[in-house]
Amino acid sequence: MRRFVLTSLLLLAAAAPLRAAPAPAPEPVTAEAVEAALHEYVLARYAGDEAAVRARVHPRLARRMLQDRYWGQESRQWLREFTPDQLRFTATPHNRARLDDPAAGRAGITVFDLEARTASAVMVMEDAVDYVHVIHFDGRWLVADSALLPLAEVGAAPPAPTHDDDEAVARVVRDYGIGFYEKDGAKVQGTCHSQLSKRTVESHESVDFNWLGSISWDEIAILGERFNAHWGFDPARARCEVEVYRVTDGIAAAKLTGSVWFDYLHLMRVNGEWRIVNIMYEGLPEERQEKA
């Protein structure tokens, strides 16, 4: 009888539904939380911990680096794209940033600005300066965009930011914004590199997850033509505020605040011309929107 009771209890336990572990609380939308996430990412690179690096990177990472050589020969400048697959090198000897003492590595992190779902920041590491857009995705801060400036040698002093190109960068960003009000799709598209990545974090009240919506280089010309046909803003009066956060050796981080939206932008100077390469955008909350 005792064996029967024990067997019955075991069968009941096996049939009982397993309780899922409670979901971790969403990380706060604060500059401190963004900085902590990026610091975790930097230490994981130094430790050669691929899993920890991936835990702080969106699977659709858009990473760009300016190149001026091809097959070992000098060439005109072009953008090299990196894929998330290449994060596998983190745990290999090819990761030149690996350190015996990860905590001793350089981790200069500056958060330029923060909005509801997006932040603009820069990481100065032992082997690179990395301008990033960080997104609040499914409750965690993840690197989604990267404009990478490798250093010639690990541990080398990073190039100092300059203001020589601030005006040129601001002009490109302003032309981009004004093009939307003027319904000039060619003008908008002309400020962007053909390898443009423009995205936003999407959500819906009917589901409990986020996804990335994207706009291609081809599509942004159409958006430029149609945006103000819908909104009807006066091009001479509509808001087009530009902030240039930092410019370092051909890479810039900036922000455009328009009438009903904002863009965080990465720009690169390619063959002497500044072009927008990465954008993360959000619609502004109603209380911050301009009226047409």
Please give the average pLDDT of every successive group of 10 residues along the chain, which has 292 residues.
48 55 86 99 98 98 96 96 94 96 98 98 98 98 99 96 98 99 98 98 94 98 98 97 98 99 99 98 97 90
Q: Is the four-CA dihedral 276, 277, 282, 283 of positive or negative sign?
A: positive
Q: In this predicted structure, what is the pLDDT of residue 82?
A: 94
Q: Please tell me the predicted confidence (pLDDT) of residue 6.
A: 46
pLDDT at 5: 45
CA distances, 103 to each of 79, 146, 149, 242 (Å) = 32, 23, 22, 36
In this prediction, residue 20 carries a pLDDT of 59
DSSP class of residue 163 equals S
Proportion of the chain in helix, strand, coil states, percent, rounded to 5: 30, 40, 30
Q: Is 179 exposed, middle or buried (0-12, 13-18, 19+ CB in 10 A)?
A: buried
Helices (H), 89-243: 166-181, 185-190, 217-231
Can you spell out the DSSP letters for 54-73? HTTEEEEEEEEEEEEEETTE
CA distance 133 to 99: 25
User: 């009066």: which residue's tokens?
Assistant: 237
Q: CA-based angle 229:119:242, to the nearest 5?
A: 50
What is the structure's pLDDT at 1?
47
Question: Packing angle between helix 166-181 and helix 217-231, nearest 10 degrees?
Answer: 60
pTM: 0.91
CA–CA separation, 12 and 7 (whole Å): 9
Q: Can you give the pLDDT at residue 4?
A: 45
pLDDT recorded at residue 9: 46
What is the structure's pLDDT at 24? 81
Buried b / exposed e along 79-102 (16+ C-beta atoms within 10 A): beeeeeeebeebeeeebebbbeeb
Q: Which domains does the chain have, with CATH numbers?
A: 31-150 (3.10.450.50), 166-288 (3.10.450.50)
Measured CA to CA, the distance from residue 32 to residue 226 in angstroms comes to 38
